[in-house]
Amino acid sequence: MSTFALAIGLVVGNIIHPGEGLKLIPYDPNAKAATNSTADFLLGIIPGDIPVLPTLLAAILVGFALQRMGSQGQPVLKAIQHGQALVFRILIMIMWLAPVGAFGAIAAVVGATGVKAIFGMLTLMVAFYITCALFIVVVLGTLLRVVAGVSIFQLMKYLAREYLLIFSTSSSEAALPRLIAKMEHLGVSKPVVGVTVPTGYSFNLDGTAIYLTMASLFVANAMGIPLDLGAQVSLLVFMIIASKGAAGVSGAGLATLAAGLQAHRPELLGGVGMIVGIDRFMSEARALTNFTGNAVATVLIGTWVKEIDRNQVTNVLSGATPFDELTMISHHAEPEVKEAVAA
């Protein structure tokens, strides 16, 4: 489904041509400074492009080697875990300055192009929201109605509290425990929910997929490097791979976009700064679409493998069997679990 979402984002991007005419000139961190000013010195401290694919290959080889080493590789694994914590701490420090960088990037573009830059970003945001809404209602809604006989609007009403939580946090991960509990309460068997929902949070991110293609086309058009059909198909295939395993946390879509462009089209990486300023506003629609896609996928797979209680679905969506918000225990929970919670 996320592959289909990527294709939809590509089609919409070709229709609206977001970012066209901005003509951004990215800063090249590897270029030699013409002067010896303080700004050039500070910018020279920042390292240039670090190749992603060789780094990824090295990480995969190290992972396989550690697995074959068994207990002998545990000290190395612990060292890597400590290094990971260190890198995350450094990233948190850098992200504190990200709003300042986004402000500077947008201010520079607006100063050079006027309101055209603001209009281009607004066009991308509005088109993205509309595309996500149509994807949920038309694509997911049709699949849900045809395969499971369930209305997408009834399902969304049932998940209304989760939508509020996601909208306030811009992250579908925040509603993961509640989605698992509600899908079990809806009538989908616990084994199906236990496999489908966590897997979907890594491999079925429809909102992120739409975002990746539309944002990539925006960056390409804004930098005056429009992509022909062959380049777009190549980008689509690469983003299909890049989108798998993307986290459902806030900002993960932007990180996936930057990593994908750096590996596939590094000349476009300099335009990602324009997206940073509006990414927060787009992350809500991205997270809501990801969440809805996983909820629909759970119902569809439960129907496909015949691990769903049709009567329970009808009663829950009609309101006859409301979800217990206090205990978050599903209708199909084990009796001893219910007794423990009640006690």
Say yes or no to pLDDT of 339 above 60.
no
Cα separation, 246 vs 208, whole angstroms: 8
Each residue of 19-40: pLDDT tens digit?
776 666 655 555 544 555 676 6
Of 102-106, 215-219, 246-250, 254-258, which gets the smallest average pLDDT? 246-250
Is residue 42 one of the residues assigned to a domain? Answer: no
Question: Which band of pLDDT confidence, cut at 50, 70 and 90, is reported for residue 341?
Answer: very low
Closest C-alpha among 156, 128, 151 to residue 141? 151
Question: Which band of pLDDT confidence, cut at 50, 70 and 90, is reported for residue 48?
Answer: low
How far does CA 128 lie from the centroid of its chain?
13
The residues with which 188 forms a beta bridge, in sequence order, are: 308
Host domain of residue 231: 2-20+124-339
Is residue 207 one of the residues assigned to a domain? Answer: yes
% helix, strand, coil for the chain, step of 5? 75, 0, 20
CB of 167 within 8 A of CB of 288?
yes
Q: Which residue in this structure is represented by tokens 């927060």? A: 280
Q: How many helices (H) and strands (E) does the chain have?
A: 17, 0
Is residue 227 one of the residues assigned to a domain? Answer: yes
Say yes or no to pLDDT of 187 above 70.
yes
Predicted pLDDT of residue 5: 81
For residue 71, the 8-state DSSP code is G
- Averaging pLDDT over each range in 102-106, 199-203, 337-341, which range is the top one? 199-203
The two structure tokens encoding residue 14: 């070709």
Say yes or no to pLDDT of 154 above 90.
yes
Tell me the mean pLDDT in the region 239-244: 68
Supply the DSSP string of 199-252, one letter for each residue: HHHHH--HHHHHHHHHHHHHHHHHTT----HHHHHHHHHHHHHHHTT---STTH
Is residue 192 one of the residues assigned to a domain? Answer: yes
CATH number, residue 285: 1.10.3860.10
The two structure tokens encoding residue 89: 């701490």
Of 58-67, 130-139, 146-155, 293-302, which gets the smallest average pLDDT? 58-67
Supply the DSSP string of 30-46, one letter for each residue: TSPPSS--HHHHHHHHS
Say yes or no to pLDDT of 300 above 80.
yes
283 versus 40: the higher-pLDDT residue is 283
192 versus 204: the higher-pLDDT residue is 192
Is residue 197 one of the residues assigned to a domain? Answer: yes
Domain total in the chain: 1
Closest C-alpha among 293, 286, 251, 292 to residue 272? 251
Tell me the mean pLDDT in the region 96-123: 75
Is residue 284 one of the residues assigned to a domain? Answer: yes
Tell me the mean pLDDT in the region 270-295: 85
Is residue 206 one of the residues assigned to a domain? Answer: yes
Say yes or no to pLDDT of 132 above 80.
yes
Tell me the mean pLDDT in the region 196-220: 86
Cα separation, 178 vs 159, whole angstroms: 9
How far does CA 77 lie from the centroid of its chain?
28
Cα separation, 129 vs 211, whole angstroms: 10
Handedness of CA 322, 326, 327, 328 (dihedral sign): positive
Predicted pLDDT of residue 252: 67
> Residue 237: CB partners within 8 Å, gap ≥ 6?
none
Look at the pTM and tell me if it is higher than 0.85: no
Of 106-120, 131-145, 308-322, which gets the smallest average pLDDT? 106-120
Question: Which band of pLDDT confidence, cut at 50, 70 and 90, is reported for residue 260?
Answer: confident
Is residue 267 one of the residues assigned to a domain? Answer: yes
